[in-house]
Structure 1
């Protein structure tokens, strides 16, 4: 890269930072109102027949102004938390823009969560208003003190009758947009506050990492209940004015290929588990991608080789976290693209400076686009993620960097399980399994899986004299589905005499990952 290219990128990053860190920054204007009203914001794809329904920025602006009025009638205003428990439907994006239009804060709830996981996030965030859909409404039953708005004819009638909100509440670059919870690997999930100025970092990834162009048909297939789907399937497309597809259906290879072919997708992003499953399915005619990207867990070389022949392009691996978004990437944009290095997750995304500190991948806190400063109301946990002099943010992921600046992931220091692109905290699953009357002790780790990358494996110590029946494993699986989340149940259950522990009583998970 020439000095002139470096200067251009540096100036671009500085411009984005100035725009989104402005004390007068208006999130709804930045994400919606400033775009051409006739331009497409999203295409909502039906899971039934894969037909698409386009949503323009003009329609999104008008509908979100009326939805904002409905929320305001429920007491929502600047700084108030609003939880949203919805799948990928038009009501989701309308509600999010409406929340930000009022200067309020969005609390994402993943639709696979069971009631206990939902309640923890609602109570921790002091949420009073929840917007949901009919298929999720039952999960909120019994949660007192909540105002619940359910998508459907009744809410539509309220929105249609509402007087549109005329003025946005501008919270500025430091104002909070989102309160997103981590996976809870070492305790209760921690709340990550996402400020308006984080939009600059999201813009850098959309531009340099994914290379989403105006003429692309872009599809980030990740769920907006988690960071990658929210940051780069909703917020990133909105802030850059790039349309994204939202498929209202679960993942299957056939459905994914059907969407790619029918809608002429040219730029696709998904988890490695999606690509591995797709690799076992015949590619239909008409699927040719200009760009393909992967995030959520390390990408295996076989996927890259397959994709070049089957999809017409290699798949590039990218690395990030809930706390910061994507920061190390095999960027696609012409200004930053470098040859793939086998096993590497890439180099620094423009706007970030990375390093390896005490064996951990780290990000310099003076990076122009660094936005994470700490967890909400968790000073001790925050302190663990920064060096004592606060010059480095520690990712808790072990890795290396070579002389050419390529970063390589080695291990997850916090024992997070990456299953099918989802980050699963052992603590959450263990907390449910231990409630079974026959379970005396339990530890959860990730076990290798060819399709999903990892699956949840539970090592269970029984109560003295316990005699588990033939349905014991199914009982534990259903317990996790019911009490935590459908995506996190243990696909492997091992009954053991004792768990390997240190003299201080800590479980030695690395021994369990080796098979005991």
Structure 2
């Protein structure tokens, strides 16, 4: 189907009616959408769990339905009730999926906590959400001794606890809880409007905000999964994104499962060789990840690519812009380009490279069916083609979020022109309707009257064979206001030198405009990143 017809003919109600064989307007739950429609075949696989030594366990949708029923009943047996918040601090293991699906079945609210958070960050989220329980494992619990007084006030459920718990916290054994629980379906009524998730987004000017997300959120991301991840029924899909965040939990997690795909749950830490080994072992052909993972695979070199020779049906990326050099490398080595996508936690995945149309270098694609996008300039007017403006999304009934926890006025201020959500991200659109990400408003560099997007400069720098990763920021300058400064992580077998700095600068001067090449370069061991892998340019500006 042509993109233009797909986009203009799309209607939310028709899309959902086709997917669900019950009246989803009256009764709806994300767990219901993921599990119930996929359990008619008892052998249909839901999860491939890749363990630390890369051996694999398999769970069917029937297994998950039984386990999540047990967990939901167990939560109720502990005295928790519909609407209670249940914090989750777990690595990528099957118990994670049992936890959040079971929490939703019980009508309770999942509060995902990323495992890289420190004790203070975890304590803030538990207190702010007023969580009644925490689900974690022993290794993460051992890190929380400094907040043991807080944990004494809530239920703490531990996966694989040690026989002698060194923590002062009283805990409940997850496995024992599941074993003793009833696996009968619960009689908890939920609708698309009921709260399902409380996800804390990074706070750049204050403490993290709790984004409130209802069961409607799965409907929001299903067009993305179907049309931009190109999910096929019964295929094996690997979304290397942590379920501690919206993308890994919904967009590349629950949504592909709702469409009948089996997820790869990869427990080990990421490295290039284990990635190649897992792809080869499971014969995975559809993979998505943040740009950091793709850059790491490219940086590992051609030897592993030639050793394993993987072949993919589909590759995609989201989280931050993906450098065109990386896209070209993957297409050259594996015969498949990476399709870049754009989204934001408060709204959904809203711009993507649909397989209906070709890829343009550096573009995150066109608006995803169901979402209307425009660009708003600094002068308050809507942007014309080629003009840089803020990405704004027209409000509809299927935004992922419906507010910030306890900060409703702050959420309302995110809207412009009455009903357009201002993402704070800058982009431009070409004459063919493709969008090109420029950067966050705070990341744009103003030099000698020119506005310079960091992404364009970074794309040029990373084409140098010595460069593994890079980031550029504006550095204050008395003459120009700001100059472009680059921070570079080198590939193996390259050494920092003044000659290499000059070589990179000349590359950029030759390929970019005269005003936007880096005038200063620092070589560093690694770039500062958020826990979800995004580059933290604000730390480089300090």
The equivalent of 1:400 in structure 2 is 428
The equivalent of 1:304 in structure 2 is 327
Match 1:185 to one of 204, 208, 224? 204
**Alpha-carbon distance between aligned partners in 1 of 2:324 and 2:351, rounded to the nearest angstrom:** 18
Match 1:322 to one of 329, 335, 345? 345
The equivalent of 2:494 in structure 1 is none
Pairwise CA distance, 1:10: 1.5
Asked if structure 1 preserves the Cα contact closer than 8 Å seen for 2:292 and 2:533, the reply is no
**Alpha-carbon distance between aligned partners in 2 of 1:271 and 1:161, rounded to the nearest angstrom:** 39
Match 1:47 to one of 39, 52, 71? 52
The equivalent of 1:287 in structure 2 is 310
Say whether residues 1:92 and 2:116 are aligned partners. no
Pairwise CA distance, 1:280: 2.5
Cα 1:123/1:166, change in 2 over 3 Å: same
Cα 1:355/1:8, change in 2 over 3 Å: closer
Say whether residues 1:258 and 2:288 are aligned partners. no
Asked if structure 2 preserves the Cα contact closer than 8 Å seen for 1:13 and 1:204, the reply is no
**Alpha-carbon distance between aligned partners in 2 of 1:280 and 1:400, rounded to the nearest angstrom:** 30
Cα 1:3/1:411, change in 2 over 3 Å: closer
**Alpha-carbon distance between aligned partners in 2 of 1:311 and 1:297, rounded to the nearest angstrom:** 22
Q: Superposition pairs for residues 341-490 of structure 1, below 5 Å?
A: 341-358=360-377, 359-366=389-396, 369-387=398-416, 389-414=417-442, 448-449=487-488
Cα 1:143/1:449, change in 2 over 3 Å: farther
Asked if structure 2 preserves the Cα contact closer than 8 Å seen for 1:21 and 1:197, the reply is no
**Alpha-carbon distance between aligned partners in 1 of 2:413 and 2:30, rounded to the nearest angstrom:** 31
Asked if structure 2 preserves the Cα contact closer than 8 Å seen for 1:365 and 1:390, the reply is no
**Alpha-carbon distance between aligned partners in 2 of 1:288 and 1:403, rounded to the nearest angstrom:** 34
Asked if structure 1 preserves the Cα contact closer than 8 Å seen for 2:234 and 2:260, the reply is no
Pairwise CA distance, 1:314: 0.3
**Alpha-carbon distance between aligned partners in 2 of 1:149 and 1:88, rounded to the nearest angstrom:** 17
Say whether residues 1:220 and 2:222 are aligned partners. no
Asked if structure 1 preserves the Cα contact closer than 8 Å seen for 2:88 and 2:134, the reply is yes
Asked if structure 1 preserves the Cα contact closer than 8 Å seen for 2:45 and 2:61, the reply is yes
Cα 1:395/1:12, change in 2 over 3 Å: closer
Pairwise CA distance, 1:241: 2.1
Q: Where do 5+ consecutive residues of structure 2 fail to align?
A: 162-172, 378-388, 445-453, 456-484, 492-525
The equivalent of 2:505 in structure 1 is none
The equivalent of 1:30 in structure 2 is 33
**Alignment length, in residue pairs?**
436
SS in structure 2 at match of 1:373: strand
Pairwise CA distance, 1:285: 2.3
Moved more, 9-18 or 75-84: 9-18
Q: Superposition pairs for residues 34-113 of structure 1, below 5 Å?
A: 34-36=37-39, 37-48=42-53, 50-113=54-117
Pairwise CA distance, 1:341: 1.4
Moved more, 369-378 or 34-43: 369-378
SS in structure 1 at match of 2:335: coil
SS in structure 1 at match of 2:299: coil
Moved more, 409-418 or 136-145: 409-418
Pairwise CA distance, 1:214: 2.1
Match 2:213 to one of 170, 194, 201? 194
**Structure 2 length-normalised TM:** 0.74
SS in structure 1 at match of 2:81: coil
Partner deviation per Cα, 1:390-439 (whole Å, 9 max, x = no partner)? 22010011111222211111121255999xxxxxxxxxxxxxxxxxxxxx
Moved more, 56-65 or 161-170: 161-170
**Alpha-carbon distance between aligned partners in 1 of 2:263 and 2:149, rounded to the nearest angstrom:** 34
Pairwise CA distance, 1:34: 2.5
**Alpha-carbon distance between aligned partners in 1 of 2:30 and 2:135, rounded to the nearest angstrom:** 20
**Alpha-carbon distance between aligned partners in 1 of 2:256 and 2:69, rounded to the nearest angstrom:** 20
Say whether residues 1:129 and 2:157 are aligned partners. no
**Alpha-carbon distance between aligned partners in 2 of 1:116 and 1:365, rounded to the nearest angstrom:** 35
Asked if structure 2 preserves the Cα contact closer than 8 Å seen for 1:13 and 1:351, the reply is no
SS in structure 1 at match of 2:329: helix
**Alpha-carbon distance between aligned partners in 2 of 1:343 and 1:2, rounded to the nearest angstrom:** 22
Pairwise CA distance, 1:485: 7.0
Pairwise CA distance, 1:156: 1.3
Cα 1:384/1:451, change in 2 over 3 Å: farther
Pairwise CA distance, 1:131: 0.5
Asked if structure 1 preserves the Cα contact closer than 8 Å seen for 2:87 and 2:112, the reply is yes
Let me know the Cα RMSD of the aligned residues. 3.2
**Alpha-carbon distance between aligned partners in 1 of 2:428 and 2:106, rounded to the nearest angstrom:** 44
Which structure has more RCO (C-alpha within 8 Å, separation ≥ 6)?
Answer: 1
**Alpha-carbon distance between aligned partners in 2 of 1:405 and 1:488, rounded to the nearest angstrom:** 26
Partner deviation per Cα, 1:115-153 (whole Å, 9 max, x = no partner)? 011011111100020010111012333142121100126
**Structure 1 length-normalised TM:** 0.78
**Alpha-carbon distance between aligned partners in 2 of 1:131 and 1:164, rounded to the nearest angstrom:** 19
Asked if structure 1 preserves the Cα contact closer than 8 Å seen for 2:309 and 2:334, the reply is no
Asked if structure 2 preserves the Cα contact closer than 8 Å seen for 1:186 and 1:414, the reply is no
Q: Where do 5+ consecutive residues of structure 1 fail to align?
A: 419-445, 453-476, 493-508
Cα 1:187/1:447, change in 2 over 3 Å: farther
**Alpha-carbon distance between aligned partners in 1 of 2:203 and 2:298, rounded to the nearest angstrom:** 32
Pairwise CA distance, 1:228: 1.4
The equivalent of 1:425 in structure 2 is none
Say whether residues 1:161 and 2:180 are aligned partners. yes
SS in structure 1 at match of 2:247: helix
Asked if structure 1 preserves the Cα contact closer than 8 Å seen for 2:110 and 2:197, the reply is yes
